[in-house]
Amino acid sequence: MLSNKVCSAAVFSNEYTACCLSYSDTNNQIAFVMPNDIEKFEKAREGEIYEIMRSLSQNFPEKRSVTFPKFSVESSVNMVQQLRKLGLNLPFSCDANFSKMAKGKFYVSDAIHKAVVKVDENGTEATAATAIAATFCCCGPFDEPRPVVIDKPFYFSILGRYKLPLFFGKITNPKY
Protein backbone atom coordinates (compact mmCIF):
# COMPACT_ATOMS: atom_id res chain seq x y z
CA MET A 1 0.00 0.00 0.00
CA LEU A 2 1.14 3.51 -0.76
CA SER A 3 0.43 6.15 1.85
CA ASN A 4 1.38 9.78 2.06
CA LYS A 5 0.19 13.21 3.18
CA VAL A 6 -0.80 15.01 0.01
CA CYS A 7 -3.01 17.83 -1.14
CA SER A 8 -6.16 16.10 -2.30
CA ALA A 9 -9.76 16.92 -3.09
CA ALA A 10 -12.09 14.27 -1.66
CA VAL A 11 -15.76 13.35 -1.49
CA PHE A 12 -17.25 11.05 1.16
CA SER A 13 -20.85 9.98 0.56
CA ASN A 14 -23.12 7.09 1.56
CA GLU A 15 -22.44 5.51 -1.83
CA TYR A 16 -18.72 6.07 -2.40
CA THR A 17 -15.40 7.59 -1.34
CA ALA A 18 -13.49 9.50 -3.99
CA CYS A 19 -10.30 11.53 -4.16
CA CYS A 20 -8.17 13.28 -6.72
CA LEU A 21 -4.38 13.71 -6.58
CA SER A 22 -2.41 16.15 -8.71
CA TYR A 23 0.89 15.16 -10.23
CA SER A 24 3.66 17.64 -9.46
CA ASP A 25 4.76 20.01 -12.23
CA THR A 26 1.89 19.03 -14.56
CA ASN A 27 -1.79 19.69 -15.01
CA ASN A 28 -2.46 15.95 -14.81
CA GLN A 29 -4.31 14.21 -12.00
CA ILE A 30 -5.27 10.73 -10.92
CA ALA A 31 -8.73 10.17 -9.48
CA PHE A 32 -10.02 7.24 -7.44
CA VAL A 33 -13.68 6.30 -6.86
CA MET A 34 -14.40 3.50 -4.39
CA PRO A 35 -18.07 2.46 -4.06
CA ASN A 36 -18.98 1.51 -0.48
CA ASP A 37 -21.16 -1.39 -1.69
CA ILE A 38 -19.24 -3.97 -3.76
CA GLU A 39 -22.42 -4.95 -5.67
CA LYS A 40 -22.85 -1.35 -6.77
CA PHE A 41 -19.21 -1.39 -7.91
CA GLU A 42 -20.02 -4.28 -10.25
CA LYS A 43 -23.11 -2.50 -11.64
CA ALA A 44 -21.64 1.02 -11.91
CA ARG A 45 -21.62 2.58 -15.36
CA GLU A 46 -18.52 4.30 -16.71
CA GLY A 47 -20.49 7.51 -17.26
CA GLU A 48 -21.52 7.64 -13.59
CA ILE A 49 -17.95 7.08 -12.44
CA TYR A 50 -16.68 9.78 -14.82
CA GLU A 51 -19.21 12.30 -13.44
CA ILE A 52 -18.06 11.58 -9.88
CA MET A 53 -14.42 12.08 -10.90
CA ARG A 54 -15.31 15.30 -12.70
CA SER A 55 -17.15 16.64 -9.64
CA LEU A 56 -13.97 16.22 -7.58
CA SER A 57 -12.47 19.21 -9.36
CA GLN A 58 -15.13 21.39 -7.74
CA ASN A 59 -13.98 20.45 -4.24
CA PHE A 60 -11.25 22.33 -2.42
CA PRO A 61 -8.06 20.26 -2.01
CA GLU A 62 -6.76 19.84 1.54
CA LYS A 63 -3.61 18.23 2.94
CA ARG A 64 -4.70 14.77 4.02
CA SER A 65 -3.44 11.22 4.30
CA VAL A 66 -4.22 9.16 1.19
CA THR A 67 -3.59 5.41 1.04
CA PHE A 68 -4.05 3.20 -2.02
CA PRO A 69 -2.52 -0.01 -3.41
CA LYS A 70 0.15 -0.32 -6.05
CA PHE A 71 -1.42 -1.57 -9.25
CA SER A 72 -0.73 -2.39 -12.85
CA VAL A 73 -3.37 -2.86 -15.54
CA GLU A 74 -3.11 -3.70 -19.23
CA SER A 75 -5.77 -3.58 -21.93
CA SER A 76 -5.81 -4.58 -25.57
CA VAL A 77 -8.77 -3.87 -27.86
CA ASN A 78 -9.45 -4.97 -31.43
CA MET A 79 -10.65 -1.66 -32.85
CA VAL A 80 -12.03 -3.22 -36.05
CA GLN A 81 -14.68 -5.11 -34.10
CA GLN A 82 -15.54 -2.07 -31.98
CA LEU A 83 -15.77 0.30 -34.95
CA ARG A 84 -17.90 -2.16 -36.93
CA LYS A 85 -20.31 -2.35 -33.97
CA LEU A 86 -20.63 1.44 -34.25
CA GLY A 87 -21.51 1.11 -37.94
CA LEU A 88 -18.15 2.12 -39.42
CA ASN A 89 -17.56 -0.53 -42.09
CA LEU A 90 -16.19 1.20 -45.20
CA PRO A 91 -12.48 1.38 -44.16
CA PHE A 92 -12.55 -2.38 -43.57
CA SER A 93 -13.71 -3.34 -47.07
CA CYS A 94 -12.28 -3.18 -50.59
CA ASP A 95 -14.64 -0.23 -51.19
CA ALA A 96 -12.39 1.93 -48.98
CA ASN A 97 -10.65 4.82 -50.73
CA PHE A 98 -7.27 5.68 -49.25
CA SER A 99 -5.90 7.10 -52.52
CA LYS A 100 -4.83 10.36 -50.84
CA MET A 101 -2.67 8.40 -48.40
CA ALA A 102 -1.00 5.82 -50.64
CA LYS A 103 -1.11 4.22 -54.06
CA GLY A 104 -2.93 0.98 -54.63
CA LYS A 105 -6.28 -0.38 -53.53
CA PHE A 106 -6.25 -1.53 -49.93
CA TYR A 107 -8.37 -1.68 -46.80
CA VAL A 108 -7.75 -1.66 -43.04
CA SER A 109 -7.44 -5.32 -42.08
CA ASP A 110 -6.49 -4.88 -38.43
CA ALA A 111 -6.42 -2.11 -35.83
CA ILE A 112 -5.28 -2.85 -32.27
CA HIS A 113 -5.14 -0.38 -29.39
CA LYS A 114 -3.15 -1.30 -26.29
CA ALA A 115 -2.77 0.63 -23.04
CA VAL A 116 -0.73 -0.04 -19.88
CA VAL A 117 -0.95 1.84 -16.57
CA LYS A 118 1.37 1.14 -13.63
CA VAL A 119 1.17 3.01 -10.31
CA ASP A 120 3.71 2.37 -7.55
CA GLU A 121 5.89 4.18 -5.02
CA ASN A 122 8.01 5.62 -7.86
CA GLY A 123 5.04 7.26 -9.57
CA THR A 124 2.84 6.51 -12.54
CA GLU A 125 3.73 5.09 -15.93
CA ALA A 126 1.02 5.18 -18.56
CA THR A 127 1.52 4.25 -22.20
CA ALA A 128 -0.79 3.64 -25.12
CA ALA A 129 -0.25 2.62 -28.71
CA THR A 130 -2.40 1.92 -31.73
CA ALA A 131 -1.29 -0.25 -34.64
CA ILE A 132 -3.12 -0.35 -37.95
CA ALA A 133 -2.48 -2.95 -40.67
CA ALA A 134 -3.64 -2.67 -44.26
CA THR A 135 -4.16 -5.40 -46.85
CA PHE A 136 -4.18 -4.94 -50.61
CA CYS A 137 -7.43 -5.81 -52.34
CA CYS A 138 -7.44 -8.52 -55.01
CA CYS A 139 -7.97 -7.49 -58.61
CA GLY A 140 -11.10 -8.52 -60.44
CA PRO A 141 -13.93 -10.76 -59.37
CA PHE A 142 -13.35 -13.68 -57.08
CA ASP A 143 -13.41 -16.41 -59.76
CA GLU A 144 -11.70 -19.75 -59.47
CA PRO A 145 -7.96 -19.01 -59.82
CA ARG A 146 -6.32 -20.18 -63.01
CA PRO A 147 -4.14 -23.24 -62.32
CA VAL A 148 -0.39 -23.16 -62.89
CA VAL A 149 1.17 -26.21 -64.53
CA ILE A 150 4.95 -26.34 -65.00
CA ASP A 151 5.33 -29.12 -67.59
CA LYS A 152 8.10 -27.85 -69.91
CA PRO A 153 11.70 -26.73 -69.35
CA PHE A 154 11.81 -23.86 -66.84
CA TYR A 155 14.00 -21.52 -64.83
CA PHE A 156 13.86 -21.25 -61.06
CA SER A 157 15.23 -18.92 -58.45
CA ILE A 158 15.33 -19.11 -54.67
CA LEU A 159 14.87 -15.61 -53.31
CA GLY A 160 16.11 -14.29 -49.99
CA ARG A 161 14.41 -11.99 -47.52
CA TYR A 162 14.84 -8.90 -49.70
CA LYS A 163 13.75 -10.69 -52.90
CA LEU A 164 17.36 -11.01 -54.07
CA PRO A 165 18.22 -14.31 -55.77
CA LEU A 166 20.20 -16.69 -53.58
CA PHE A 167 20.11 -19.48 -56.18
CA PHE A 168 19.22 -19.39 -59.85
CA GLY A 169 18.93 -22.34 -62.18
CA LYS A 170 17.46 -23.89 -65.30
CA ILE A 171 15.75 -27.26 -65.67
CA THR A 172 15.90 -28.41 -69.30
CA ASN A 173 14.46 -31.89 -68.93
CA PRO A 174 11.82 -31.98 -66.16
CA LYS A 175 10.76 -35.48 -65.05
CA TYR A 176 7.23 -36.04 -63.82
Q: How far is CA 7 from CA 11, 12, 66, 97, in A?
A: 14, 16, 9, 52
pLDDT at 143: 55
Report the C-alpha gap between 127 and 119 in whole angstroms: 12
Q: What is the mean pLDDT of residues 22-45?
A: 80
pLDDT at 67: 87
Residue 140 has pLDDT above 60, yes or no: no
Residue of higher predicted confidence among 73 and 165: 73
**Contact assessment for residue 5 and residue 62, using Cβ atoms and an 8 Å cutoff:** no
Q: What is the mean pLDDT of residues 94-106?
A: 89
Residue 114 has pLDDT above 90, yes or no: yes
pLDDT at 127: 92
Residue of higher predicted confidence among 119 and 148: 119
Residue 139 has pLDDT above 70, yes or no: no
Confidence of residue 7 (pLDDT cuts 50, 70, 90): confident
pLDDT at 31: 86
Q: What is the mean pLDDT of residues 157-167?
A: 68
Residue 156 has pLDDT above 90, yes or no: no
pLDDT at 163: 66
- For residue 73, the cross-strand partners are 117
Q: What is the mean pLDDT of the chain?
A: 82
- The reply to whether the predicted model has a pTM over 0.75 is no
Query: Cβ of 108: how many Cβ atoms within 10 Å?
Result: 19
Q: What is the mean pLDDT of residues 24-39?
A: 82
User: Among candidates 127, 88, 95, which has minimal Cα distance to 111?
Assistant: 88
Give the 3-state secondary structure of residue 132. strand
Report the C-alpha gap between 176 and 66 in whole angstroms: 80
